[in-house]
Chains A and B, each alone.
Chain A
Amino acid sequence: MKFDAPATFNPIDRLKVVGRPTDRIDGPLKATGTAPYAYERHDVVPNQAYGYVVGSAIAKGRIASIDLKDAAAAPGVLAVVTAQNAGKLDKGEFNVARLFGGPDIQHYHQAIALVVAETFEQARAAAQLVRVDYVPAKGAFDLAAAKDAAIKLEPSFGGPADTAAGDFAGAFAKAPVRLDATYSTPDQSHAMMEPHASIAAWDGDRLTVWTSNQMIDWGTTDMAKTLRIGKEKVRLVSPYIGGGFGGKLFLRADALLAALGARAAKRPVKVALPRPLMINNTTHRPATIQRIRIGATKDGKIAAIGHESWSGNLPGGDPETAVGQTRLLYAGKNRMTAMRTAHLDLAEGNAMRAPGEAPGMMALEIAIDEMAEKLNLDPIEFRIRNDTQVDPEHPQRPFSQRQLIECLRIGSDRFGWSKRNPAPGKTRDGRWLVGLGVAAAFRNNLLAPSGARVRLDDRGIVTVETDMTDIGTGSYTIIAQTAAEMMGVSLDKVVVRLGDSAFPVSCGSGGQFGANNSTSGVYAACVKLREAVARKLGFNSPDVAFVDGEVRSGNRSVALAEAAGERGLAAEDAIEYGELDKTYQQSTFGAHFVEVAVDAATAEIRLRRMLAVCAAGRILNPKSARSQVIGAMTMGAGAALMEELVVDKRRGFFVNHDLAGYEVPVHADIPHQDVIFLDETDPISSPMKAKGVGELGICGVGAAVANAIYNATGVRVRDYPITLDKLLDRLPEMA
């Protein structure tokens, strides 16, 4: 189905199933621990052996020699695989560094060997016996130091490196009120609960991998390419994923090394990455340094806005597209954005929940707060004055929907913003300094083709198959809701099967594009199935309706089960998009409100209340969408207050490479959270009239926290995370 004109009334608009706060259909499996995750698939193939990955002990250089003798002779060891004995390997399209290193080493903990043994303990013990002599080389690990040598690289996603409109320099120089400030965000880890894990089994030249991967088709493609075999020989299965956040978008070492280990050991092999390897072996969100300049008229209209961002990566890696939102969020005739990429020899930087906007909004929305203060304007009012209903770089392009002002106003009322004392450092509650902060939320709505197959059987059961994944987001549930709505059946008549490369290729999970696109693909397949049902019954008038398990036309009514007949009916289709995202700018909007308390003595920062108001098209399931947003707010709170992969700039690695060192919020850090969804549909986005929401919730929340801390203390911190040591010497005097 080609979607190239705005949606009109369609069966989804009945909202009998879609749009309801349905419980997760996979909830009982998750709550009882019976949803099978990759490493636990003991049932799928017998005789599984265990692989343990050896990571490089140096960040850059080469292996002079590697001695496998002791490891190979250790108890239970079946095989020791290295890049040298694994056979010729290619590199995946989506991988920057090679997943199997040696003799050249590209980053710390790059995999250099896999030890396969009868038991996990044997494999782990033998892995310590792999003796490696390295010749270290000098590497670059310090973004601030490498920044001036950064170059212009065009990113693979997220628009061009540079944009400009009007005369930024001239307008900025002439603006009566100006801000020129530099912000930084650190490297961050996805730190999801389930590690990267895979079981691989060969049957002749055919490979099956039970894995944990957000993008089945990318993974299948890159597995085949890396192994230099046909894609049709590779099957990936990933029905349940214990969190991804972008860390599982790609083929990673666990899957590749499991396949190589299984080939060497001639039996199925399972591999999970230990936590330190999740941090230094896989991908992370790259650190940024961002310079923002805003010039405004005295009445608070932005005349010039400039946003530059520097980030680092391995050669071939992308920049972090942290300036993207600044191209779209606020009005202003004179504008510039630029991204520069420095060569760093850390592990590959890549997507993490809301790549680009998440760190970009952390900086931009502090800058807006600072600018409002300079203008003596309420930060909400300043944002409202600079709203735009068109893409400000290309004013002929309207937004498909843009209710930023509504989000800010509703949030302001609900949160009690009018009670905020705009003078910083003046509100005390016992030992606490209290402050309120606000930030806009913004994340683009991305479109991607997505396919599905739908079958109807003689019991009236509708089965959906797509290689779409559920990374904890609720894909199973909203896909079931979509199929139920389209076919006029209740949810218990729908079976959803996901995450298998044998199923039609979907958009996968990432970039908050999963919900809207995958359900649109299911919509398309259901439209075809409805046609097949109608055709079979000879219902050819336009009044055919699918209601209550029946198909009706005129005064005729046939149960779906009967319509399907013994052989059943099936249909397959995909949603594809025309030019609507070129004609219109499609984005999601919101507003974050945060109340913080800062201990007047110790500068400990504790959140008190959080509110997000979101305008993100039709909300397919308010319950799972709310879960997405509060999860994203939590992640944003972590980014604001504690999350930082600390680079050892001498040794070239992330030092705090476990969950004791890389702190993410615990329950005690997260206070009451509220989420409000505006009642909105976006018919330009898709037949579902939905958009993404899972990443909107993280975009801006960090800045709202930062702005609240400023309101509480009068201390403006521009370098994340905002830890107490950055406030301590500037706190107001104790009374």
Chain B
Amino acid sequence: MKSFTYERAASPAEAAAAAARIAGAKFIAGGTNLLDLMKLEIETPAHLIDVNGLALDKIEATADGGLRIGALVRNTDLAADQRVRRDYGLLARALLAGASGQLRNKATTAGNLLQRTRCPYFYDTNQPCNKRKPGSGCAALGGFSRAHAVVGVSDACIAVYPSDMAVALMALDATVETVCADGTTRRIPIAQLYRLPGETPHVENVLESGELISAVSLPKPVGGAHIYRKVRDRASYAFALVSVGAIVQRDGTGRVALGGVAPKPWRVAAAEAELPRGAKAVTAALLADAKPTRENAFKLPLVERTLGAVLRDARA
């Protein structure tokens, strides 16, 4: 870990301004990912802006019947919220499928959204990794890639995005609210938050320098059966090989987002139109441009079978 300076921010706007002003500054909230990365010098912020003191830890009803979740709401609290459990069951289930109780107690909503890949080559600073060190190459291509992304990948990076929560937020059409360095705010639909790796896998989202997530808002509830199915090698405390987040209505229409298959939570509008035709058709549309490796090609049939099970459960 490199030495760094530290401050506690007084307001979101000041935090954003400070982050843009000070070279190499980063926000820290729960720290469940950032501190690990700093210990390994994968992240080397010169300055940390602690946002834990900002009053962004409320879950409030919005005027249009939705919910506004403060950026600092802990995963445990979000999963336990009565309104979330009642109206956005997919989100509660996705949260509880992730990490461990201890980590969920610390991890925040915004931090969860911005957590970085668990690619083992990204984590080993002796190895080439375009995401960690642009231009150095990708060791996962041709290497150990069983857990890696199968769709949305590039020749520069096949790292997979790890969050469960974000899969649910994607299916729920969440909006990310931010404060920019100049004090203005903006609203980013979650579908537009993440960038695919292309030639620049180190640039993972559309946030500008200093831009701070202040909240995530959910539109009013859409009803339906909310199912989050996470498939993994062990029963708990493991990242998804594949996860399916689905909201299925009585008429067979609905929404589907995938985790564990792409550099971001994966949702394809055209695929949802296929829902009445069943899992095979939906999967074909979701993974139309898949480029799996030999080691992770199993994720394609696994998505189809998992989605099939989810749709059966939704009907039952």
Check A648 for interface membership: any CB of B closer than 8 A: yes
Check A386 for interface membership: any CB of B closer than 8 A: no
The docked-state distance in angstroms from the alpha carbon of A602 to that of B313 is 14
Contact A602 B231 (CB under 8 A): yes
Check A536 for interface membership: any CB of B closer than 8 A: no
A602-B309, A655-B143, A728-B302 known; A667-B236 Cβ under 8 A: yes
What residues on A are CB-neighbors of B127 within 8 Å? 651
Contact B144 A668 (CB under 8 A): no
Q: How far is the CB of A308 from chain B (nearest CB, A)?
A: 28
Interface size class of B (residues with CB under 8 A): 20 to 34
What residues on A are CB-neighbors of B250 within 8 Å? none
With A602-B302, A728-B305 known, 20 other A-B pairs at CB within 8 A are A121-B1, A128-B2, A276-B124, A602-B306, A603-B302, A641-B233, A646-B144, A648-B144, A651-B127, A651-B139, A655-B144, A656-B120, A665-B234, A666-B234, A666-B236, A723-B233, A724-B233, A725-B241, A728-B298, A728-B302
Contact B234 A669 (CB under 8 A): yes
Check A57 for interface membership: any CB of B closer than 8 A: yes
Of the candidates B118, B120, B235, the one whose C-beta lies within 8 Å of that of A657 is: B120
Interface residue ranges of B264-316 to A (CB < 8 Å): 298, 301-302, 305-306, 308-309
Check B102 for interface membership: any CB of A closer than 8 A: no
The docked-state distance in angstroms from the alpha carbon of A594 to that of B306 is 26
Of the candidates A651, A663, A724, the one whose C-beta lies within 8 Å of that of B143 is: A651
The docked-state distance in angstroms from the alpha carbon of A700 to that of B309 is 33
Check B184 for interface membership: any CB of A closer than 8 A: no
Check B126 for interface membership: any CB of A closer than 8 A: yes
Of the listed residues A602, A642, A668, A669, the one surrounded by the most CB atoms of chain B closer than 10 A to its CB is: A602
Q: How far is the CB of A722 from chain B (nearest CB, A)?
A: 10
What residues on A are CB-neighbors of B1 within 8 Å? 121, 124-125
What residues on B are CB-neighbors of A665 within 8 Å? 234
The docked-state distance in angstroms from the alpha carbon of A657 to that of B127 is 13
What residues on A are CB-neighbors of B236 within 8 Å? 666-669
The docked-state distance in angstroms from the alpha carbon of A658 to that of B37 is 13
Interface residue ranges of B221-257 to A (CB < 8 Å): 231-239, 241
Of the candidates B39, B235, B302, the one whose C-beta lies within 8 Å of that of A668 is: B235
A-B contact pairs, 19 of them (CB 8 A): A58-B126, A121-B1, A124-B1, A125-B3, A603-B305, A646-B146, A651-B127, A655-B121, A657-B120, A658-B120, A660-B239, A661-B120, A668-B237, A669-B234, A724-B233, A724-B298, A728-B305, A729-B298, A729-B301
Contact B231 A604 (CB under 8 A): yes
Q: How far is the CB of A122 from chain B (nearest CB, A)?
A: 9
Check B123 for interface membership: any CB of A closer than 8 A: yes
The docked-state distance in angstroms from the alpha carbon of A275 to that of B143 is 21
Contact A669 B298 (CB under 8 A): no
Contact A648 B306 (CB under 8 A): no
Check B41 for interface membership: any CB of A closer than 8 A: yes
Check A431 for interface membership: any CB of B closer than 8 A: yes
Which 7 residue pairs across A and B have the least CB separation, nearest first? A668-B235, A57-B126, A601-B309, A725-B298, A668-B236, A655-B144, A601-B305
The docked-state distance in angstroms from the alpha carbon of A723 to that of B233 is 7
Residue in chain A with minimal CB distance to B229: A602
Contact A658 B123 (CB under 8 A): yes
Q: Is the interface of B mostly helix, strand, loop or mixed?
A: loop
Q: How far is the CB of B33 from chain A (nearest CB, A)?
A: 11
A124-B39, A728-B298 known; A648-B143 Cβ under 8 A: yes
The docked-state distance in angstroms from the alpha carbon of A507 to that of B239 is 42
What residues on A are CB-neighbors of B146 within 8 Å? 646, 725
Of the candidates B3, B235, B302, the one whose C-beta lies within 8 Å of that of A725 is: B302
Residue in chain A with minimal CB distance to B3: A125
What residues on B are CB-neighbors of A661 within 8 Å? 118, 120
What residues on B are CB-neighbors of A651 within 8 Å? 127, 139, 143
The docked-state distance in angstroms from the alpha carbon of A602 to that of B237 is 18
What residues on A are CB-neighbors of B302 within 8 Å? 602-603, 724-725, 728
Interface residue ranges of A107-128 to B (CB < 8 Å): 121, 124-125, 128
Contact B233 A657 (CB under 8 A): no
What residues on A are CB-neighbors of B241 within 8 Å? 724-725
Residue in chain A with minimal CB distance to B299: A725
The docked-state distance in angstroms from the alpha carbon of A269 to that of B121 is 31
Contact A663 B234 (CB under 8 A): yes
The docked-state distance in angstroms from the alpha carbon of A668 to that of B2 is 37
Contact B301 A728 (CB under 8 A): yes
Check B142 for interface membership: any CB of A closer than 8 A: yes
Contact A657 B231 (CB under 8 A): no
What residues on A are CB-neighbors of B306 within 8 Å? 601-602
The docked-state distance in angstroms from the alpha carbon of A724 to that of B235 is 12
Contact A606 B235 (CB under 8 A): yes
What residues on B are CB-neighbors of A648 within 8 Å? 139, 143-144
Q: How far is the CB of A610 from chain B (nearest CB, A)?
A: 14
Residue in chain A with minimal CB distance to B128: A651
What residues on A are CB-neighbors of B124 within 8 Å? 276, 655, 657
What residues on B are CB-neighbors of A667 within 8 Å? 236
Interface residue ranges of A634-673 to B (CB < 8 Å): 641-642, 646, 648, 650-651, 655-658, 660-661, 663, 665-669
Q: How far is the CB of A735 from chain B (nearest CB, A)?
A: 11
The docked-state distance in angstroms from the alpha carbon of A57 to that of B302 is 36
Interface residue ranges of A189-237 to B (CB < 8 Å): none
The docked-state distance in angstroms from the alpha carbon of A178 to that of B225 is 53
The digit string for B84-119, where 1 denotes a CB below 8 A from any CB of A, is 000000000000000000000000000000000010
Q: How far is the CB of A272 from chain B (nearest CB, A)?
A: 13
Of the listed residues A58, A431, A601, A663, the one surrounded by the most CB atoms of chain B closer than 10 A to its CB is: A601
Interface residue ranges of B8-64 to A (CB < 8 Å): 39, 41
Contact A601 B308 (CB under 8 A): yes
What residues on A are CB-neighbors of B121 within 8 Å? 655
Interface residue ranges of A589-638 to B (CB < 8 Å): 599, 601-604, 606
What residues on A are CB-neighbors of B301 within 8 Å? 728-729
The docked-state distance in angstroms from the alpha carbon of A431 to that of B301 is 18
What residues on A are CB-neighbors of B234 within 8 Å? 641-642, 663, 665-666, 668-669
What residues on A are CB-neighbors of B231 within 8 Å? 602, 604, 724
Of the listed residues B239, B305, B309, the one surrounded by the most CB atoms of chain A closer than 10 A to its CB is: B305
Contact A602 B298 (CB under 8 A): no
Interface residue ranges of A71-118 to B (CB < 8 Å): 75
What residues on A are CB-neighbors of B298 within 8 Å? 724-725, 728-729
Contact A663 B238 (CB under 8 A): yes
Interface residue ranges of A706-735 to B (CB < 8 Å): 723-725, 728-729, 734
The docked-state distance in angstroms from the alpha carbon of A601 to that of B306 is 6
The docked-state distance in angstroms from the alpha carbon of A431 to that of B310 is 12
Q: How far is the CB of B1 from chain A (nearest CB, A)?
A: 6
Residue in chain A with minimal CB distance to B231: A602
The docked-state distance in angstroms from the alpha carbon of A16 to that of B81 is 56
Of the listed residues B1, B127, B144, the one surrounded by the most CB atoms of chain A closer than 10 A to its CB is: B144
The docked-state distance in angstroms from the alpha carbon of A651 to that of B139 is 9
Residue in chain B with minimal CB distance to A134: B126
What residues on A are CB-neighbors of B235 within 8 Å? 606, 666, 668-669
The docked-state distance in angstroms from the alpha carbon of A722 to that of B2 is 41
What residues on B are CB-neighbors of A602 within 8 Å? 231, 302, 305-306, 309
What residues on A are CB-neighbors of B233 within 8 Å? 641-642, 663, 723-724
What residues on B are CB-neighbors of A666 within 8 Å? 234-237
Q: How far is the CB of A661 from chain B (nearest CB, A)?
A: 5
Of the listed residues B41, B239, B298, the one surrounded by the most CB atoms of chain A closer than 10 A to its CB is: B298
What residues on A are CB-neighbors of B305 within 8 Å? 601-603, 728
The digit string for B124-155, where 1 denotes a CB below 8 A from any CB of A, is 10110000000000010011101000000000
Q: How far is the CB of A666 from chain B (nearest CB, A)?
A: 5
The docked-state distance in angstroms from the alpha carbon of A728 to that of B232 is 13
Q: How far is the CB of A191 from chain B (nearest CB, A)?
A: 13
A642-B234, A655-B121, A668-B235 known; A431-B143 Cβ under 8 A: no
What residues on A are CB-neighbors of B3 within 8 Å? 75, 125
Q: How far is the CB of B39 from chain A (nearest CB, A)?
A: 7
The docked-state distance in angstroms from the alpha carbon of A729 to that of B305 is 10
Q: How far is the CB of A600 from chain B (nearest CB, A)?
A: 8
